[in-house]
Amino acid sequence: MRFKEIVYQETSKIPKGRVATYSYIARKAGLPRAVRAVGNIMNNNPFPGTGKGKVPCHRVVRSDRSPGGFASGTEKKVRLLRKEGIVFDKNRIQERFFL
């Protein structure tokens, strides 16, 4: 299986109301130093959203607990995360929501 497919597979495992870091996904995909590659893969996600067959790329965030980028804009990413119950403190996601 190619790295990109593994990244999508691992991202699809992030449950609603939880987040994972780009570095977490890189480690789970077998290339712990490929953090930037994970970000690029998320930016080009052809299956955004939630539900069967979708890849919830909005649930992948930065290690500093900030939301990070999003193809539809960071504000939309924050709205989606808040809608799923994620709580922020001063633009940082509370640690209890991380895998």
Segments of 1-99 assigned E as strands: 20-21, 60-61, 88-89, 92-93
Segments of 9-56 assigned E as strands: 20-21
Distance CA 80, CA 71 (A): 13
Q: Report residue 2 as tokens.
A: 């190619």
- Catalytic residue, chosen from 57, 80, 81, 86, is 57
CB 42, CB 34: distance < 8 Å = no
Q: Report residue 77 as tokens.
A: 């990413």
Is 91 an active-site residue?
A: no
Residues forming the active site:
57
